[in-house]
């Protein structure tokens, strides 16, 4: 495609693959291109093959594309793993000391090499780095060379290099700038203008960030004041970012001793009125489930982010999956209201960051945000105006005004990050001293809550069943009343806040891809391609998953044509939820559970199989099997 370029950078863990990719992506974004990058890394501290895919073009991009037009090989193993996937006309950029041309010729005979028209582009990366001080700067040389062969101006490469090493002092910055310039010059002279040149950007500068970063920004905009977490890939970068700006935005972050402590700290902070959250991944979420029930019965507004990865147990620590949906709906013992939402893009991650707090406080229940590794760690350009902090609504639900027998009505207000104000109108409400009904039975199930310590609204709270004023009880009628009161919240949420599935594409499609989470981006690209060929196709994205919008889902499925579920799990969990809630069964299913994200090409191929009659297609990535020795390394 002449309006976009796809680059894959491969090497060993610790060799700078991430920094090369991040730097190149920034340079492309600053050149005015739309950029999408996806990392692929192993759970190793040292050793093991990693790679990073970068896709850039003149139109918005929501998924990775394979195969790559250009492969940057930092190791011979990169050739072994990725050579077979390169299309005719592709190029390979590498350190000439590796003599990869011999390895490639070993894999392909001369005739095959000519037929595929592969262009080999050796550059003395290690020698350039050593000539300017140290071979450690070889990754900077690779970044400069990458700019040289693709036509990214040196000043943009230099700008990114300067930003990357600014904190290490002028000498380090100067040495790396010299390395980048030398490699850029040599690569441009030897190999400039290869077959897939860089498309021209529009000059518009866009933000470049991943889903976790966007979620953290949304949480700040939504007034997050406390986060406790135990580091667990791929959720860790949320607390890392909030910790980095904690002083600036008046947020307390806590590295807890484990996930149980983290969620209990968040419950405590939320109980006393702070907008509080925790974030983890599958196994960590498993540990949090008892405390989730505590938030349920004490009606504490709690936000839990589960950034899914491959399971069960430790499973695939650094691989993506969407297999915690049904678990999230039922986690913890007993029944209590909860809300489950699943963003599908970086922009939706930002929205989920503040919306989760509004929902949690409006309905005084746990809100679970389901993300996944691919969405959490893939970098994507976002238009500058996509995150309007001033337009973020703050809805704290029904609050009792401090020191008065009155209730704040739960009106919505707007504020900016760091602004502690939230103007609301108090309405009169009275009760006898010492009998404040914290868990008052209401039509909506939501009871106005005070902040603990208010002498005008003293109450008790415990993890056991209780009366309206918080006293422990096992009395039959009170138990029934409390259960019915709490569960009414889900009906209220369903009426007022839960969103219908979102449709992308024509109103009356021939086929509809049904999905949730990060698969939406690749599915949208496939639907667009089908529609362009005269076969109208749409995507139905389920963003709000519980309480399940059954009526809206059934209506959307009635006009969906052939329905094909696209999910990254073995059993088709969304399809099961749809069937359980509406009685409707999707016509086909495309499922993957190899830890690799969908590419549009893979879905496209699978849809063709589905249209040919295959009812359930289990996809396996086109990545070739790795030699056993590549699994050897130092585990995280």
Q: What is the pLDDT of residues 396-408, one digit of tens each?
A: 999 887 766 565 5
Take residue 295 and report the two structure tokens written for it: 């938030």
Whether pLDDT at 634 is above 60: no
Residues 607-611, mean pLDDT to the nearest whole number: 96
pLDDT-above-70 percentage for the chain: 91
Cis peptide before 432 (omega within 30 of 0): no
pLDDT-above-90 percentage for the chain: 77
Rounded Cα–Cα distance for residues 308 and 232 (Å): 11
Rounded Cα–Cα distance for residues 240 and 233 (Å): 12
Q: In terms of pLDDT, which residue wins out, 67 or 25?
A: 25
310 burial via Cβ count (<10 Å: 0-12, 13-18, 19+): buried
pLDDT digits (tens, 9 = 90+) for 140-162: 999 999 999 999 999 999 999 99
Residues 112-135, mean pLDDT to the nearest whole number: 90
Banded model confidence at residue 630, pLDDT cuts 50, 70, 90: low
pLDDT of residue 429: 55
Whether pLDDT at 425 is above 70: no
Take residue 300 and report the two structure tokens written for it: 């504490």
Take residue 314 and report the two structure tokens written for it: 């430790």
Quote the Cα angle for 171-177-178, to 5°: 90
44 has which bridge partners? 635
Whether pLDDT at 628 is above 70: no
Contact between 39 and 210 (Cβ < 8 Å): no
pLDDT digits (tens, 9 = 90+) for 537-580: 999 999 999 999 999 999 999 999 999 999 999 999 999 999 99
Contact between 68 and 86 (Cβ < 8 Å): yes
pLDDT of residue 3: 86
Residues 459-464, mean pLDDT to the nearest whole number: 93
Mean pLDDT of the chain: 91
* φ/ψ bin of 489: left (φ > 0), alpha (ψ from -120 to 50), beta (otherwise): alpha
Whether pLDDT at 419 is above 50: no
Return the residue matching tokens 């700008």. 159
Say whether 179 sits in a helix, a strand or coil: helix
Whether pLDDT at 137 is above 70: yes
pLDDT of residue 390: 85
Banded model confidence at residue 205, pLDDT cuts 50, 70, 90: confident
Q: Please list the helix, strand and coil fractions of the chain in percent, rounded to the nearest 5, in that order.
A: 40, 20, 40
Rounded Cα–Cα distance for residues 30 and 155 (Å): 11
Banded model confidence at residue 626, pLDDT cuts 50, 70, 90: low
Residue 632: other Cβ atoms inside 10 A: 10
3 burial via Cβ count (<10 Å: 0-12, 13-18, 19+): exposed
Residue 526: other Cβ atoms inside 10 A: 25
CA 185 to chain centre: 37
Residues 177-190, mean pLDDT to the nearest whole number: 96
Whether pLDDT at 623 is above 90: no
Q: What is the 3-state secondary structure (H, E, C) of 297-339?
A: HCCCCEEEEEEECECCCCCECCCCCCCCHHHHHHCCCCCCCCE
Take residue 596 and report the two structure tokens written for it: 């690799």
Closest listed residue to residue 618, CA positions, set 576, 561, 567, 563: 567
CA 488 to chain centre: 31
Helix axes 289-297, 259-271, angle to 10 degrees: 10
């Amino acid at each position: 495609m002449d309006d976009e370029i796809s680059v894959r950078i491969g090497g060993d863990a610790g060799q700078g693959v991430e920094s090369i990719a991040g730097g190149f992506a920034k340079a492309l974004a600053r050149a005015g291109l739309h950029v999408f990058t996806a990392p692929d890394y192993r759970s190793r501290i040292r050793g093991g093959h990693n790679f990073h895919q970068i896709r850039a073009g003149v139109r918005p991009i929501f998924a990775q594309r394979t195969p790559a037009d250009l492969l940057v090989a930092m190791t011979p193993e990169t050739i072994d793993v990725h050579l077979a996937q390169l299309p005719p006309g592709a190029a390979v950029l590498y350190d000439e000391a590796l003599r990869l041309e011999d390895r490639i010729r070993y894999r392909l005979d001369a005739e095959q090499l000519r037929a595929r028209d592969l262009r080999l582009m050796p550059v003395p990366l290690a020698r350039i780095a050593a000539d300017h001080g140290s071979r450690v700067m070889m990754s900077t040389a690779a970044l400069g060379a990458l700019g040289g062969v693709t036509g990214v101006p040196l000043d943009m490469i230099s700008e990114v290099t300067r930003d990357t090493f600014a904190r290490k002092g002028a000498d380090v910055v100067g040495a790396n700038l010299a390395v980048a310039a030398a490699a850029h010059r040599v690569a441009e002279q030897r190999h400039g203008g290869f077959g897939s040149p860089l498309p021209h950007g529009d000059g518009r500068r866009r933000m470049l960030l991943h889903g976790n970063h966007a979620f953290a920004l949304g949480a700040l905009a939504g007034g997050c004041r406390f986060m406790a977490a135990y580091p667990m890939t791929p959720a860790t970068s949320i607390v890392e970012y909030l910790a980095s700006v904690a002083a600036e935005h008046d947020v307390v972050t806590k590295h807890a001793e484990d996930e149980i402590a983290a969620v209990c700290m968040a419950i405590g902070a939320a109980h006393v009125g702070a907008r509080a959250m925790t974030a983890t991944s599958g196994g960590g979420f498993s540990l949090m489930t008892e405390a989730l029930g505590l938030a349920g019965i004490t009606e504490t507004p709690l936000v839990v982010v589960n950034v899914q990865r491959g399971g069960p147990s430790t499973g695939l620590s650094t691989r993506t999956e969407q297999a915690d949906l049904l678990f999230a709906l039922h986690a913890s013992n007993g029944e209590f209201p909860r809300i489950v939402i699943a963003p599908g893009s970086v922009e939706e991650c930002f929205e989920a960051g503040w919306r989760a707090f509004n929902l949690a406080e409006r309905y005084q229940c746990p809100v679970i945000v389901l993300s996944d590794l691919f969405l959490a760690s893939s970098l994507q350009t976002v238009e500058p105006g996509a995150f309007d902090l001033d337009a973020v609504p703050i809805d704290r639900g029904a609050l009792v005004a401090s020191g008065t027998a009155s209730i704040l009505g739960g009106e919505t207000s707007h504020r900016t990050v760091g602004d502690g104000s939230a103007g609301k109108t108090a309405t009169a409400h009275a009760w006898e001293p010492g009998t404040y009904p914290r868990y008052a039975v209401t039509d909506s199930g939501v009871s106005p809550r005070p902040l603990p310590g208010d002498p005008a609204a003293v109450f008790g709270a415990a993890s056991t069943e209780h009366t309206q004023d918080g006293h422990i009880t096992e009395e039959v009628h009170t138990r029934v009343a409390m259960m019915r009161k709490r569960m009414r919240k889900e009906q209220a949420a369903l009426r007022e806040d839960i969103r219908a599935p979102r449709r992308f594409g024509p109103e009356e499609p021939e086929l509809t891809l049904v999905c949730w989470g990060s698969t939406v981006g690749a599915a949208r690209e496939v639907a667009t391609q089908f529609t362009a060929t005269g076969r109208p196709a749409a995507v139905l994205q389920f963003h709000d998953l519980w309480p399940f919008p059954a009526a809206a889902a059934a209506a959307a499925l009635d006009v969906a044509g052939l329905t094909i579920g696209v999910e990254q799990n073995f059993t088709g969990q969304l399809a099961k939820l749809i069937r359980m809630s509406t009685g409707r069964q999707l016509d086909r299913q495309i499922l993957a559970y190899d830890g690799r994200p969908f590419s549009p090409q893979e879905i496209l191929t699978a849809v063709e199989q589905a249209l040919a009659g295959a009812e359930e297609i289990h996809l396996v990535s086109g990545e070739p099997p790795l030699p056993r020795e590549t699994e050897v390394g130092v585990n995280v």
